[in-house]
Amino acid sequence: MAGSIDDMNTTTRAKLITAGLLAAAVSVLPACSTQVSGTAVEPAAAAPATTTAAAPYSNPVPETTAPRMKPIVAPEYEELANTVDEAAEWFANFWVANQGGPLGVDIVQFDRIEGAPCLPDNGVSVNSAWICPNDPVKRSIAVYLPNTQKYVWEKGGESAVFWLVGHEASHYGLVDLDLSVDTGGNLEELRATCGAGSFVATVARERGLDAEAELNNADKALRFVEETDALKDGANMKYEACTTYVHPSMR
């Protein structure tokens, strides 16, 4: 999990991740969201039905045009939440461009810890975000805004949020590309940060930004030199190559 990063020291850390991924085709409330008391999730305005003569009990909204779920967050987190959404959208597009199809990951942002989805059983006070790897219905990334603001946004700004999203999304994406990535522990964490580096650098160039500056800003939210290495190594690698990335200290 990125953003919290205390996990680099724990060997049994729950495999939870951080980021926000726009799901290109999300049709229902995220599976975890029903547990998010205090952070009600409401659907965006329904997309107009594209079929005009649907059968009485059929779903009038095709799955591929379903509206995204947008969490309600406190005003002080609104800018951050919008940035998470933006990063998630960039990652979704990055994935489609590289892999040819949607990643199919949904992001759940919330501003109160009570009832948060698939809460890690340790370190809830420092984790910024995590994934819900055992969710049988949907692949979700939970972003806890107060910690993300403190540990990511206030340290590295937008660049760090893009790193966070890229890291968490890569816990799903890299495993999709190669199941052997699903090791848990520091190896998988560094591979996810490698993927984030590839993402941040690629997107920075597409946005006309200075990739090196973006990486340096993102690095401000990282706490371990191994993470910095993985981020910057990934920036010079094809995304897929991060499935086999091994930091020199682990060789």
Question: Which residues here bind Zn ion, judged by CB under 5 A?
Answer: 1-2, 17, 189, 192
| Residue number with CB closer to Zn ion (18 or 39) | 18
Give least dist CB 203 to Zn ion, A.
19
69 forms bridges with which residues in the sheet? Answer: 43
H helix count then E strand count, the chain: 6, 5
Tokens coding 141? 């990334």
Q: How far apart are CA 218 and CA 100, in angstroms?
A: 27
Question: How many C-beta atoms lie closer than 10 Å to residue 232's C-beta?
Answer: 20
Give least dist CB 130 to Zn ion, A.
8
Give least dist CB 7 to Zn ion, A.
7
Give least dist CB 37 to Zn ion, A.
25
Please identify the residue of the shown chain whose CB is closest to the bound Zn ion. 1
Give least dist CB 128 to Zn ion, A.
10
Cα-Cα-Cα-Cα torsion 127, 189, 181, 247, nearest 10 degrees, comes to 180
| Residue number with CB closer to Zn ion (189 or 226) | 189
| Residue number with CB closer to Zn ion (176 or 189) | 189
147 in Cβ contact with 127 (< 8 Å): yes
Beta-sheet pairing, 140-144 with 129-131: antiparallel
Q: How far apart are CA 124 and CA 3, in angstroms?
A: 12
DSSP H/E element including 79: helix 78-99
Tokens coding 193? 């940060």
E strands, 132-197, are 140-144
Give least dist CB 226 to Zn ion, A.
13
| Residue number with CB closer to Zn ion (30 or 166) | 166
18 in Cβ contact with 185 (< 8 Å): no
Give least dist CB 189 to Zn ion, A.
5
100 in Cβ contact with 176 (< 8 Å): no
| Residue number with CB closer to Zn ion (69 or 192) | 192
| Residue number with CB closer to Zn ion (111 or 189) | 189
| Residue number with CB closer to Zn ion (17 or 145) | 17
